[in-house]
Amino acid sequence: MFVDFFYHLRGYGLKVTITEWLSLMKALAIGHSRADLHVFYNLARCLMVKREADFDNYDRAFASFFMGVENHFDISDELLEWLSKPELPRELTDEERAKLEALDLDELRERFKELLDEQKERHDGGDRWIGTGGMSPFGHGGEHPTGVRIGGSGGGRSAVQVATDRRFRNLRSDRILDTRQIGLALRRLRKLDKDEGPEELDIDETIDSSARNAGEIDLVFRPPKRNRIKLLLLIDVGGSMDPHTLLCERLFSAAHKANHFKKFEFKFFHNCVYENLYTDISRWKGEATSQILKRLDHTWSVCLVGDAWMSPYELTHTGGAIDYYHTNQVTGLDWLRKFRDRCPNSIWLNPEPRRIWNAPTIHLIRQVFPMFELTIDGLTEGIDVLRGIRPNRALAA
Amino acid sequence: MSFHAFTGTDTYLASPELRDSVNVASALEKPLLVRGEPGTGKTVLAEAIAENLVMELLTWNIKSTSKAQEGLYVYDTVQRLNDARFGDRDITDISQYIKYGPLGESFLKDQRVVLLIDEIDKADMEFPNDLLHELDRMSFFVHETGRQHAARFRPIVVITSNNEKELPDAFLRRCVFHYIAFPDKAEMEDIIRVHHPDVEDELLRQVLLRFYWLRDLPELRKKPSTSELIDWIAALRRGGVSTESIESELPFLGVLMKRENDLEAVMAAHRRGRVN
C-alpha cells in the first residue's frame, strides 16, 4: 500500500524521492502515525511535500487514494506488513540503498511491535502516545492537561473529507515570475573582472608574504573584482505585448534595481526595432538607433524582449513598419542584424510559450538571436548564454 | 533516539499539525523548514520549542552577506597575525583563533539545543546548498586544526523562510516542511486581543471584516499582514474613528497599504461598492 501511495503521489506530479519516502516509513515505525489517518495525512505531507504550492496537488492525490477505503484502513497493519516484507518502489541508487540500510528495518519492526503490544495492553488508559482515551498529550478524547484533539471526532470529518476541501488551492503557484525571482536570475549575470577602484586587503597574500618576510607583516592589497557585464535591455511595448505588460514591468524593474552591472541601459520599441528607440513607454522621447549602435561594442550584451509576432513584411520590407505614417528605409530584420553584429553576445526573450512559436517572423528572428521563454528556466538559460557558459546558437538559416 | 513532545506554550498556540511536524523533525533529527507569510509566528516558534522542551536556544540571523562557513566557524587570521607580530600570546595553539558560529556551537554543546536559522531566504541563492552536508551529518571539519567535530546531541534545527524565493530541491529534500497558513478571522481575533486587550468588540468586528475583504482583492500586489493590522487598529483607536466611518471611509489606509498602486486599487474597489 505504501509503495502504491508513493507512486500515486508521483502520478500527481509531486516530486517525492525514495529518501523522503523512507523517512516517512521510519517516522511511522517509531510511532508517529498513531493509527490515525489525519495524523498520517500531515506526517506524509510534512516529509514529502516541501512547497505549499504543491499542497493542493497533495490534497487531491490523498483524497483520491483513500476515498472509499478510509474506514477499513489500518495503518498499523499495513506498516507491520511492510516492515516484515519491505517492498521498495524501484531499484535503489547506492545513496538510497545506504539510507535504507541505515534504517535497520529489523530493529524498527521490533520497536513497532513493542509499541503495538503496549498499545493493546494499555488501550484506553495508557500513558504512552498511541491509542485513545489515555493520558498522553496525543490521541483524542484524552485528558492530558494540554489536551490536543488530533483527528478523531473532529466534527465528524475524515482526513479524506478535509483533503477534499482543497484549502490550499489559492497557494498553487501557477509559477508566475515575480520581480525577486527575476532579480535572482539576473544576479547570476556577472562576469568578474579585475578592475580599477579602491583596493582591498588580500588576507591570503598578506599571510604568505608576511611568512616569507620572516613574520614581519607585509600588507598586500589588490584591486577588487567587478562585474564587467554591460546590458542593453530592449522591450517591445504595446499591441500584442499588452497581455505581458506586468511580466515585462517586473523584468524591467528587476533589471533596473540590479546594481551589479557595469553599465545598464534600456529602450522601448514597438513591434520591431527601426530607426528610433524610445526611453519612455509612450514612445515620445526617442533616440536614433544608429546613435545607440555607435555607443555599443562587443563588450555589450543586448537582451530583446518581445513576442516577435508580426506580419512578415513588418520585419522584412522597407516601409513595412507597423505605424502607417512611418516609412522605414532599413528593414526591421536588418536592424536586428546590426545589433547582433555589433554585440554578438545577445539574446531574445519571448513571453509567449515556446509551443506557440510558430509564426514565420519568430522563425526569422531566431536565426538572428537565440530565443528563450521569459520564464525562470528560459531566463536562466538565456543568462547562461550571456555569461558564455552555454553556446550562443541561433537557428540555422 | 530521544523523543521530545512539543506541545506549545501558554503564549504560543501551536496547531496539532504544527506540533506533529515539530515532533517528527525532532525525532528524525531533520531540520524543520517553516514557511508562511510575515507575521505568522515563524520565528517565535523556535523560542516556543526551546521554552517548552527546556532547551537553550541559539539563533543565527541570516543576512544578505551571510556565508555558510560563518555559521560553523571563522579563523581569526588577523588576530593571530597581530599576536605573531607583537608577541603577545603563544600563537602555536591555533584552536584559540577558531571562533565558532551558531551552527558550529550548536553541534558542540553537551546537551540538545534548539538552533534557529532565521530567514534563510535572505542569503545568497547558494547558501542553503552550502549547508547540506553539515545539516545532514551534523558534523564539520576545522581545516586549520585538522579536527572533526560531530554533534553529540543533534540540535533541533528550525529554519524559517519568508517564502520569497524557491529554495534548492536538494535542500528541501532534507527538511521536514511546515507551512503556517495565514490566521483566519477567529485566530486573528485572539492575536489582536493579545496586542489590544481592551479593544471594543464592534470595532474589532468591523476592522476584521475590512481587513479580510482587502486581503481577498486579487489586484493587490502586497497583502497587508498581521503587524500592519495591529498598527491600523492602534491608529483607528488613537484617532477616535467611529465604527461607522471604518465602513464608509476606510480611514488611515496608509498604515495598512504601503504601495501607491495598492492604495489606489483598494480605493477603486471600495468605490465600486464591493464592501458589503
Full DSSP string of B83-150: HHHHT-S--S-GGGGEEE-HHHHHHH-SS--EEEEE-GGGS-TTHHHHHHHHHHH-EEEETTTTEEEE
Domain with CATH 3.40.50.410 in chain A: 228-387
Residue A5 has pLDDT above 80, yes or no: yes
Backbone phi, psi, residue B265, to 5°: -60, -40
Q: Collect the ranges in chain B with pLDDT lower than 70.
A: 1-4, 163-166, 274-276
Average pLDDT of chain A is 77
Strands (E), chain A: 192-194, 200-201, 221-222, 225-227, 230-236, 263-269, 276-278, 286-288, 300-305, 347-350, 371-373
Count CA within 13 A, CB hemisphere, residue A384: 11
What crossing angle do the helices spanning A105-121 and A75-84 adopt, rounded to 10°? 150
pLDDT higher for A185 or B27?
Answer: B27
Q: Find residue A269's DSSP bridge partners.
A: A236
Q: Hey, how many other C-beta atoms are within 10 angstroms of the C-beta on A304?
A: 26
User: B68 vs chain A: nearest CA distance in angstroms?
Assistant: 19
Tell me what pLDDT residue A127 has: 40
CB distance A46–B21 less than 8 Å?
yes
Task: Give the best residue of B69, B160, B173 to mutate against chain A (max A CB count within 10 A).
Answer: B173
A118 touches B: beta carbon within 8 Å: no
CB A264 within 8 A of CB A254: no
CB distance B33–A50 less than 8 Å?
yes
Q: Find residue B91's DSSP bridge partners.
A: none
Measured CA to CA, the distance from residue B161 to residue B163 in angstroms comes to: 5
DSSP class of residue A260? -
pLDDT category of residue A192 using cuts at 50, 70 and 90: low
Measured CA to CA, the distance from residue A146 to residue A138 in angstroms comes to: 9
Tell me what pLDDT residue B192 has: 87
CB distance B17–A207 less than 8 Å?
no
Within 8 A of B13 by CB-CB distance, chain A residues are none
In the numeric block, the cell 492530558 is attached to A144
For B178, the enclosing helix (H) or strand (E) is strand B176-179
CB distance B8–A146 less than 8 Å?
yes
Query: Could you say which of B24, B27, B125 has the minimum Cβ distance to residue A46?
Result: B24
Q: Is A175 helix (H, G, I), strand (E, B) or coil?
A: coil
User: A244 vs chain B: nearest CA distance in angstroms?
Assistant: 16
Tell me what pLDDT residue B165 has: 62
- ipTM for the complex shown: 0.80
B16-179: which CATH topology? Rossmann fold (3.40.50)
pLDDT in tens, A127-169: 444 433 333 333 333 333 333 333 333 445 677 777 777 777 6
Within 8 A of B169 by CB-CB distance, chain A residues are 15
Tell me what pLDDT residue A124 has: 42
Query: Could you say which of B16, B81, B125 has the minimum Cβ distance to residue A184?
Result: B125
How far, in Å, are A49, A54, A82, A219, B125 from residue B169 at the CA level?
11, 13, 28, 43, 12
Residue A175 has pLDDT above 50, yes or no: no
**Lowest model confidence (mean pLDDT) among A125-129, A196-200, A286-290, A313-317:** A125-129
CB distance A20–B125 less than 8 Å?
no
User: A145 vs chain B: nearest CA distance in angstroms?
Assistant: 10
User: A391 vs chain B: nearest CA distance in angstroms?
Assistant: 24
- Nearest-by-CA chain B residue for A139: B16
pLDDT in tens, A103-133: 777 787 887 777 777 766 544 433 444 433 3
Query: Could you say which of A20, A55, A215 has the minimum Cβ distance to residue B179?
Result: A55
Percent of chain A with pLDDT over 90: 15
CB distance B173–A17 less than 8 Å?
yes
CB distance B78–A43 less than 8 Å?
no
Locate A272 and state its grid cell.
520591431
CB A183 within 8 A of CB A257: yes
**Lowest model confidence (mean pLDDT) among A241-245, A261-265, A307-311:** A241-245
DSSP string for residues in A194-236 = E--SS-EE-HHHHHHHHHHTTT-----EEPPEEE--EEEEEEE
Most confident of the ranges A67-81, A222-236, A263-277, B216-230: A263-277
Locate A19 and state its grid cell.
529518501
Tell me what pLDDT residue A68 has: 76
CB distance A32–B20 less than 8 Å?
yes
Tell me what pLDDT residue B53 has: 92
Span A337-358, average pLDDT: 91
CB distance B169–A129 less than 8 Å?
no
Of B116, B6, B139, the C-alpha closest to B58 is: B116
Q: Is B165 helix (H, G, I), strand (E, B) or coil?
A: coil
Measured CA to CA, the distance from residue A267 to residue A283 in angstroms comes to: 10
CB distance B77–A207 less than 8 Å?
yes
Q: Which of residues 51-70 of A touch B (CB under 8 A)?
A: 51-52, 55
CB distance B20–A42 less than 8 Å?
yes
A389 touches B: beta carbon within 8 Å: no
Span A283-304, average pLDDT: 88
Tell me what pLDDT residue B54 has: 92
Query: Could you say which of B35, B81, B176 has the minimum Cβ distance to residue A47?
Result: B176
SS (H, E, C) A139-161: CCCCCCCCCCCCCCCCCCCCHHH
CB A274 within 8 A of CB A332: yes
Measured CA to CA, the distance from residue A195 to residue A299 in angstroms comes to: 15
Compute the radius of gyration of chain A from its Cα atoms.
31
A258 touches B: beta carbon within 8 Å: no
pLDDT in tens, A357-384: 888 889 999 999 999 998 888 888 898 8
**Residues belonging to chain B:** 276
Q: Using alpha carbons only, what angle is made at residue A305 by residues A301 and A326, rounded to the nearest 5 degrees? A: 105
Does the domain made of A228-387 have the CATH classification 3.90.180.10? no
Give the B-side interface with A, CB within 8 Å. 1, 3, 5, 7-8, 16-17, 19-21, 23-25, 27-28, 30, 33, 35, 77-78, 81, 84-85, 125, 163-166, 169, 172-173, 175-179, 181
Q: Hey, how many other C-beta atoms are within 10 angstroms of the C-beta on B156?
A: 28
Tell me what pLDDT residue A195 has: 57
Residue A244 has pLDDT above 90, yes or no: no
What crossing angle do the helices spanning A94-103 and A18-27 adopt, rounded to 10°? 10
A219 touches B: beta carbon within 8 Å: no
Span A81-105, average pLDDT: 75
DSSP string for residues in B53-92 = HT--EEEEE--TT--HHHHHEEE-HHHHHHHHHHT-S--S
User: B275 vs chain A: nearest CA distance in angstroms?
Assistant: 21
pLDDT category of residue A30 using cuts at 50, 70 and 90: confident
CB A314 within 8 A of CB A269: no
Q: Is A349 helix (H, G, I), strand (E, B) or coil?
A: strand
Tell me what pLDDT residue A133 has: 35
User: A352 vs chain B: nearest CA distance in angstroms?
Assistant: 22
- 10 Å CB burial of residue A135 (0-12, 13-18, 19+) is middle
Tell me what pLDDT residue A49 has: 93
- Domain residue extents for chain B: 16-179, 185-271
Query: Could you say which of A47, A150, A184 has the minimum Cβ distance to residue B24?
Result: A47
